[in-house]
């Protein structure tokens, strides 16, 4: 079973770039609605329950939707006048659209974070610069290592009776001391690591790297598919030429616009389609056993 998470990271990154890029740069209501719906479906499929994050996003949506009509007074349809400033229908609708865009992009990035784990980032950066990839992988290793070491230092300090946690100032000073010990230890440890690397010949030859992912037919398909669908969607948006100010206007829906919207709809659902395809395949395999 090869879900969306198992595709080549470069293909997946291009997919996310295309789908979020269009949502960010095309303030077209149909595109935004499709993007928001697709992002929610993808999020539910790839990341599971969001929990409290959904409520936070809803609050963000409401605040952002309401701010625009209060500070922006463009537009021709005046709804009412507040503090000698007109509040317009266009600004209100634009605020809702902008808020939808922000929320959709947030959800796309949450999906991105679920899918693009640090090993995949390393794969992409490693292509850019092997040395940078080495720094990245060392850093990612240091984060949990420092956590463990901090715990050890803290236990030793507590056992020596050097600090208690029953008053705030003492615990702050203790915390600072643990941090200070940690920094010294981390720096010396780093130097020793570096010396050991040099002793083993780091930097003498060309750096090669370990590649966790290969290109398969599906990856190429995902890459070209994303780019083609994104191109079609951009053409459709361009043909529609939606404007918000001063009055809401758009070219009539022609075949190109419909094709563009359709393409973007398919693009947002690509992970869901891959998911469904694999589920059906799996179902067939089980039933044929």
Partner 1 sequence: MIVIKNSRVRQMLRWVIPLLAIPALVALGAAVLPEKQHLLVSLGVAVLAVVLFLTGFEQKKTGARRMVIVSVMVALCIVGRMIPLFKPVTALTIIIAMYLGGEAGFLTGALAAVLSNFYFGQGPWTPFQMLAWGLIGLMAGYLAPLLKKSRALLLIFGVLAGAAYSMVMDVWTVLWYDGGFNPALYLTAVAAALPHTAVYALSNFAFLWFLARPFGEKLERVRVKYGV
By CB under 8 A, name the binding residues for partner 1. 10, 20, 24-25, 27, 64, 67-68, 71-72, 98, 102, 105-106, 109-110, 112-113, 116, 118, 121, 126-132, 134-136, 138-140, 142-143, 145-147, 150, 176, 180, 183-184, 186-191, 193-195, 197-198, 202-203, 211, 215
- When the beta carbons of 199 and 286 are compared against partner 1, the nearer one is 199
Q: Smallest distance from the beta carbon of 288 to partner 1, in angstroms?
A: 36
Tell me the closest approach of the beta carbon of residue 10 to partner 1, in angstroms.
7
Give the nearer residue to partner 1 in terms of CB position, either 114 or 278.
114
How far apart, in Å, are the Cα atoms of 209 and each of 137, 142, 259?
12, 20, 43
Least gap, CB of 225 to partner 1 (angstroms) = 19
Question: In the complex with partner 1, which residue's Cβ is closer, 113 or 281?
Answer: 113
- Cβ nearer to partner 1, comparing 220 with 279: 220
In the complex, the smallest distance separating the C-beta of residue 235 from partner 1, rounded to whole angstroms, is 16
Nearer to partner 1, 181 or 256 (CB): 181
Q: How far is the CB of 276 from partner 1 (least distance, A)?
A: 26
Shortest Cβ 65–partner 1 spacing (Å): 11
Kindly tell me which of 3 and 109 has the beta carbon lying closer to partner 1.
109
């Amino acid at each position: 079973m090869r879900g969306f998470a198992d595709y080549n990271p470069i293909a997946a990154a291009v997919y996310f770039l295309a789908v979020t890029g269009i949502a960010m740069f095309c303030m077209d209501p149909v595109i935004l609605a499709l993007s928001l719906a697709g992002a929610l479906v993808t999020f539910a499929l790839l990341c599971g329950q969001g929990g409290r994050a959904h409520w936070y996003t809803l609050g963000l949506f409401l605040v952002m939707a309401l701010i625009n009509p209060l500070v922006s007074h463009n537009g021709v349809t005046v709804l009412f006048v507040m503090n000698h400033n007109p509040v317009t229908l266009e600004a209100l609708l634009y605020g809702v659209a902008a808020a939808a865009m922000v929320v959709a992009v947030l959800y796309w990035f949450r999906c991105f974070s679920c899918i693009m784990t640090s090993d995949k980032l390393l794969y992409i950066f490693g292509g850019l610069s092997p040395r940078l990839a080495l720094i990245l992988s060392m850093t990612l290793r240091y984060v949990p290592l420092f956590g463990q070491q901090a715990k050890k230092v803290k236990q030793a300090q507590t056992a020596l009776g050097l600090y208690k946690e029953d008053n705030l100032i003492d615990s702050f000073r203790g915390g600072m001391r643990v941090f200070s010990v940690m920094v010294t230890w981390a720096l010396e440890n780093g130097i020793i690591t570096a010396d050991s690397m040099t002793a083993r010949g780091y930097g003498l030859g060309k750096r090669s790297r370990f590649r966790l992912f290969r290109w398969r037919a599906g990856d190429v398909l995902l890459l070209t598919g994303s780019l083609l669908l994104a191109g079609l969607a951009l053409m459709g948006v361009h043909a529609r030429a939606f404007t918000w100010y001063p009055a809401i206007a758009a070219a009539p829906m022609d075949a190109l616009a419909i094709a563009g919207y359709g393409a973007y709809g398919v693009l947002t659902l690509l992970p869901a389609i891959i998911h469904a395809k694999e589920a059906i395949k799996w179902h067939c395999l089980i039933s044929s056993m």
